[in-house]
Structure 1
Amino acid sequence: MTNKKSIIAIPMGDPAGIGPEITAKSLANDEIYTMCKPIVVGDAEVFKKAIQIVEKNLTVNVIQSPEEGKYKFGTVDLIDLDNINMDELRYGEVQEQCGKAAFDYIKTSADLAKNGSVKALATTPINKESLKTANVPYIGHTEMLEELTNTQDPLTMFEVRDMRIFFLTRHLSLKDAIAQMTKERVHDYLIRCDKALQRLGIENRKLAVAGLNPHSGEGGLFGREEVDEITPGIEAAQADGIDAVGPVPADSVFHQALNGKYDAVLSLYHDQGHIAAKMTDFHRTISITNGLPFLRTSVDHGTAFDIAGQNIASSVSMEECIKLAAQYAPKFTQETID
């Protein structure tokens, strides 16, 4: 059994945020070690301080490569980039050294995944302002990984309990998002969503597309987006062999997916899917970035600067993030989606 467990890299996140704390708390849960072989990529002194803050009985084993890991509960295997001046570290504040360090942890983890040394990444929170202060030219994980892996337009998928949600658009105003809801984009995304589910090992995939307007527009009475763009996009995907239905009114499609009617829902815009997921279970909503050459899961919360360094932050999301990576990693196929 042990040799079948996947190695999961955990970039530590912004050292001034809660990332190190929730990682330490998560790795103090012996269940994690029954599911995978976790490696922290970060700064050893920052992580040792986090262990003290959360009052866990853990020791740090500094390694140079995953082959050196002990993967034993109670001992945290850590690749030390040694890039934080502890005398200058201030919890809960935007700092240049922290923004640069957070990027370095992600880049190192991505390199390990690209060369096959680790099977997946389970990422912790980073801070956009810290990245900007450090002149890191990305606003978040997805944009970084997109560049680091030469991936175009990776898919975001949320998973919470038994519900999976893809997003046709992400960080756009509602007006701009509606302009992106073309039949060509719906068609393309349904094909890509189906392939993404296939890579996760899901068979007999059934997708639903959420409606945009009340009651999915009632045949054009409440808006023509469904009639003119969304339905033709679904029909084009169906013609390509994709098992997709819709548009299904957004006030019911997520409830139906949660109860097993669909394997995933294609949400048309950011808040539509985010609200559905987080109202289901805020702390257990995990983000998966599909389309990369490796598996990546992530917590869906921020660095929580207001409580960093105080042993207040819950590790539930981080634990779920690692567990989901461990669950999908053995089934995940490495080939890049066309």
Structure 2
Amino acid sequence: MTKPVLGITMGDAAGIGPEITAKTMLTHPGLREQAAVVVIGDADAMRAGAQHAGLDPAAVTVIDDPSAASNDPTIIEVLQTGPSLAHVPVGDIHPDAGDGSYRFVVEACRLAREGKIHGIVTAPLNKAAMHAGGHLYPGHTELLAEQFDVKNFSLVLSAGDLYFFHLTTHVSLRQAIEGITPERTNNVIDLVAAFCRALGKPDEAIAVTGLNPHAGENRLFGDEDADVLAPAVEAARARGLNVHGPLPADAVIPQAVGGKWNMLIVCYHDQGHAPFKAVYGDEGVNITVGLPVVRVSVDHGTAFDIAGKGVAREASLVLAAERAAALSMGWGEVWHAAQAGE
């Protein structure tokens, strides 16, 4: 195999997913030199998305199997997954769009399990729409983990060589605090270490952020850093891992952006997402580490407010596809290293 086959899931039909997917497929021909790319979604929604993006809707064609893809950069080859979503209005939550976005991911996972695609690239879905469609998942990451039956996984934001692993993600702040347990902290530290080994960097330094201000300031601002995070770091260091922390988040995150750390474990969603998106914007992607197949996503949402207006930027989706293409060929090493670390 000289090129990996990537499946781009179209995301929510009412959001910007179809138009940024159309832009990615038709205006970035260099991507096809890195991978064969198919869209897993709905042909009618893709035609509408192409039209909204100022592109030719006739470029959308339906194929039955990834092996039938020509990878012609002038066309968008779609694996039709479920009934047409032509009736879904742009810019509003719709249960059929939510159901569709769920189906696209499930189909991508099936194709990956069968070896027909080698990487999954996800355009954004809308969680409220997915829930309205009857699928009560917190987001992509948890749905993918269930489909592949994995327990130890992490949402990872990445820009270049910088990776932000997350102890918790799509839960309330109260639930996040409860979810930062010794077991979870140890599991994620081992997952990062496995990822580093697979990248050929077994001695890479790993920083763990504190949960509380000033990493608890010797218990002045909470006990979690001393009682949960610090013992997990000490245990990891005893296993020979190059782990440091817990370190105050307001200090260590700027240090990571400045290049001192490439591997960072943050405690909860906004502790990682807010500074990462503020600094990197379209230059960042979302990788799920812990799955048997590479999955890379945009680091933004469905943007209902601009959907259908042709102004949505595809830069993050293009970068996600490029990262998936680059990682997919060696992802088996990441998976095996992660399994060995469990």
TM-score by length of 2: 0.90
Aligned partner of 1:50 in structure 2 is 49
The structural deviation recorded for 1:12 is 0.8
- Quote the RMSD (CA, aligned, Å): 2.1
The structural deviation recorded for 1:301 is 1.8
Question: Residues 140-289 of structure 1 correspond to what in structure 2 (within 5 A)?
Answer: 140-199=139-198, 202-289=201-288
Q: Comparing 316-325 with 217-226, which one deviates more in the overlay?
A: 217-226
Q: Comparing 136-145 with 56-65, which one deviates more in the overlay?
A: 56-65
Question: Residues 44-193 of structure 1 correspond to what in structure 2 (within 5 A)?
Answer: 44-56=43-55, 59-81=59-81, 83-86=83-86, 88-193=87-192
Aligned partner of 1:12 in structure 2 is 10
SS at match of 1:220: coil
The structural deviation recorded for 1:128 is 2.0
Q: Comparing 139-148 with 217-226, which one deviates more in the overlay?
A: 217-226
- Give the gaps of 5 or more residues in structure 2: none
223 and 82 in structure 1: CA distance in 2 versus 1, 3 angstrom threshold: closer
CA distance in 2, matches of 1:219, 1:311: 52
Aligned partner of 2:291 in structure 1 is 292
CA distance in 2, matches of 1:331, 1:248: 32
254 and 92 in structure 1: CA distance in 2 versus 1, 3 angstrom threshold: same
Which string of whole-angstrom CA distances, capped at 9 and with x for unpartnered residues, describes residues 54-73 of structure 1? 12357234221111111122
268 and 132 in structure 1: CA distance in 2 versus 1, 3 angstrom threshold: closer
CA distance in 1, matches of 2:172, 2:263: 24
Letter of the structure 1 residue corresponding to residue 103 of structure 2: D
CA distance in 2, matches of 1:260, 1:254: 10
| Contact kept? 1:84, 1:101, Cα under 8 Å | no
| Contact kept? 1:200, 1:332, Cα under 8 Å | no
- Give the gaps of 5 or more residues in structure 1: none
CA distance in 2, matches of 1:311, 1:32: 21
Letter of the structure 1 residue corresponding to residue 274 of structure 2: I
Which string of whole-angstrom CA distances, capped at 9 and with x for unpartnered residues, describes residues 75-100 of structure 1? 222212351252x2211122232222
| Contact kept? 1:7, 1:119, Cα under 8 Å | yes
45 and 188 in structure 1: CA distance in 2 versus 1, 3 angstrom threshold: closer
CA distance in 2, matches of 1:36, 1:203: 29
173 and 144 in structure 1: CA distance in 2 versus 1, 3 angstrom threshold: closer
| Contact kept? 1:201, 1:331, Cα under 8 Å | no
202 and 298 in structure 1: CA distance in 2 versus 1, 3 angstrom threshold: farther
Give aligned pairs, total: 335
Letter of the structure 2 residue corresponding to residue 138 of structure 1: Y
CA distance in 2, matches of 1:99, 1:67: 28
| Contact kept? 2:41, 2:79, Cα under 8 Å | yes
276 and 85 in structure 1: CA distance in 2 versus 1, 3 angstrom threshold: closer
Matched-pair identity in %: 34
CA distance in 2, matches of 1:225, 1:43: 46
TM-score by length of 1: 0.91
Letter of the structure 1 residue corresponding to residue 14 of structure 2: A
Aligned partner of 1:310 in structure 2 is 309
Letter of the structure 2 residue corresponding to residue 328 of structure 1: L
201 and 79 in structure 1: CA distance in 2 versus 1, 3 angstrom threshold: farther
Which string of whole-angstrom CA distances, capped at 9 and with x for unpartnered residues, describes residues 119-178 of structure 1? 110101112222222222323212221222112252111102432101112233334333
SS at match of 1:157: strand
Q: Comparing 188-197 with 6-15, which one deviates more in the overlay?
A: 188-197
| Contact kept? 1:155, 1:167, Cα under 8 Å | yes
CA distance in 2, matches of 1:146, 1:117: 19
The structural deviation recorded for 1:283 is 2.2
SS at match of 2:331: coil
| Contact kept? 1:206, 1:243, Cα under 8 Å | yes
Q: Comparing 14-23 with 199-208, which one deviates more in the overlay?
A: 199-208
CA distance in 1, matches of 2:72, 2:204: 37
314 and 241 in structure 1: CA distance in 2 versus 1, 3 angstrom threshold: same
Which string of whole-angstrom CA distances, capped at 9 and with x for unpartnered residues, describes residues 19-47 of structure 1? 01010111221232232221101122221
Letter of the structure 1 residue corresponding to residue 2 of structure 2: K
